[in-house]
Amino acid sequence: MHSSPLSLPNRLSLPFWAGLALPLLLALSAGCTTLPPAPPSDALAQAQWEAHRDRLSRLNDWTLRGRAAYTTPTEGGSLSLFWQHQGTQTRLVLTSALGQGGAELLIDPLGASLRDSEGREYSAESADTLLQRLTGLPVPVSALSRWIIGLPEDDASPTRLDAQGRLRQLESDGWLVQYREYVEVNDHVLPRRLTVEREDLQLRLVIDAWTLP
């Protein structure tokens, strides 16, 4: 017995199309809700940055523990960092990656002093001058104390912001600072990874822990 061929109407009825259209529209509308929000406008990012900058400007006391790697045209190395900043006083302890040798740098408005692992002491009118003299590296310690919390050294420094109104990049006195990652600490958002570079030196900084009052 042969079955007769299935016959279809030339035109499908309106209820048939309506039955397909409603689920399709619901699926499309559900899909739209998963799209990421549009990036904020430049004006919004600027407003977020100004609020963020003002909060950081009032952050006078902080402590960090982290690591630094440096590269020059002729050498490279890595260090562990303990950096304590309280008002106008700064204490920076540098230790070699293997824990052998190190130095303690103290900075105040009168100048900078450094004590090495053998107890020898050195001093200069600024930390930048002192480290340049002892290591031959142009480490911008004064500027770094602001860059490392996510602030430019001054308002004249050219900057680029990310979508959340935080620094993504800044330029100052031949240095290029790029912020790779941020972390929330109490009520602040602070850098977690950044690079600081000039033609003759690159610093890669990772902050493992921030401590705020």
- What is the per-residue pLDDT across 65-96, written as a single tens digit (0 to 9) for each? 999 999 999 999 999 999 999 999 999 999 98
68/99: higher pLDDT: 68
Kindly report the pTM of this predicted structure.
0.78
Task: Kindly state whether residue 20 falls inside one of the protein's structural domains.
Answer: no
Task: Kindly state whether residue 13 falls inside one of the protein's structural domains.
Answer: no
DSSP 8-state code for residue 39: P
Task: Kindly state whether residue 17 falls inside one of the protein's structural domains.
Answer: no
CATH of the domain at 121: 2.50.20.10
Residue 192 is which amino acid? R
Task: Kindly state whether residue 5 falls inside one of the protein's structural domains.
Answer: no
Whether the predicted pLDDT of 130 surpasses 60: yes
pLDDT of residue 157: 84
Neighbouring residues of 37: CB distance < 8 A, sequence distance ≥ 6: none
- What is the number of alpha carbons within 13 Å of residue 58 lying toward its C-beta? 8
Task: Kindly state whether residue 15 falls inside one of the protein's structural domains.
Answer: no
Per the structure, the count of domains in the chain is: 1
- What's the chain's average pLDDT? 84
Alpha helices in the chain (DSSP H): 14-32, 42-57, 127-135, 141-147
Give the pLDDT band (50/70/90) at residue 42: confident
pLDDT of residue 37: 47
Task: Kindly state whether residue 32 falls inside one of the protein's structural domains.
Answer: no
Task: Kindly state whether residue 135 falls inside one of the protein's structural domains.
Answer: yes
Whether the predicted pLDDT of 115 surpasses 70: yes
For residue 59, give both structure tokens: 């952050």
Task: Kindly state whether residue 176 falls inside one of the protein's structural domains.
Answer: yes
- What is the per-residue pLDDT across 4-27, written as a single tens digit (0 to 9) for each? 443 434 444 434 334 434 443 343
Domain that residue 69 falls in: 42-211
pLDDT of residue 13: 45
